[in-house]
Amino acid sequence: MKSKAILSLAAAIAAGVVSAGTFKWAISTDKDYDKISCRVFSKTTDSDGKYLFRDVDDAKDATWFSANTVFFDEDGSFKFKHTDGNTYDVGYLRFNLHSGSTFLGSTSKEGLFYAGPTGGIISWEDVLDAIQNPEKGKYSMDIRSFVGYNQEGSSIGTFSIAPEPTSGLMLLLGAGMLALRRKRVRV
């Protein structure tokens, strides 16, 4: 019985850490972009009611979160180091498309809306849910054209999260359970 409990605990921990580490995205748009940036926002607001943020400019590579300023902690939580020197949990994400120095649009509902649940920003909880529950299908968010500050632009594409990598983890855990069961039958 102890073996089962240990394996279950290990599976839960691995699912949290590996799921977070397999965050991958796809962008589909007919716009000609050459750069993707991402602004990560804190989960909670500061004393002024604003979400703290950090910009990540090398988001073209799906491993952009390995930067020193944006990272996964040992417990699998997604964090960023702010310019104030403190570390914060990531609560929201906003991906931005650029063509040269021109800002084409972003995944926020309204132009350069600051951040938070009402701004149409991608919630990190939604990202984790999509990764951990692939049976629900892809998670997607519109990319909207930039027309002005806090003005809602038209859709110019889609940002999607593809949660396929967790199926490999499930296969590995299934094999572990079979091995455990087989060991019990031999005894």
Q: How far apart are the C-alpha atoms of 143 and 149, rounded to whole Å?
A: 15
User: How far from 150 is each of 17, 31, 37, 153, 154, CA to CA, in Å?
Assistant: 36, 21, 19, 9, 13
Would you give the DSSP letter of residue 112? T
Three-class SS state of 111: coil
Would you give the DSSP letter of residue 153? P
- Extents of the domains making up the chain: 1-22+165-187, 24-164
pLDDT at 116 over 50: yes
Helix axes 166-186, 2-21, angle to 10 degrees: 170
Q: How far apart are the C-alpha atoms of 29 and 99, rounded to whole Å?
A: 13
- Residue type at position 163: P
Q: How far apart are the C-alpha atoms of 66 and 68, rounded to whole Å?
A: 6
Select the more confidently predicted residue: 118 or 30. Answer: 30
Using alpha carbons, select from 59, 91, 90 the residue that is nearest to residue 72.
90
pLDDT at 45 over 50: yes
pLDDT at 19 over 60: no
pLDDT at 11 over 80: no
What would the pLDDT profile of 147-180 be if each residue is shown by its tens digit?
Answer: 888 888 999 999 988 655 444 455 455 555 555 5
Averaged pLDDT score across all residues of the chain: 76
Write down the pLDDT at residue 59. 61
**Dihedrals phi, psi of 70, to nearest 5 degrees:** -130, 125
pLDDT above 70 covers what percent of the chain? 69
Write down the pLDDT at residue 88. 94
| 59-63, 131-135, 169-173: range with lowest mean pLDDT | 169-173
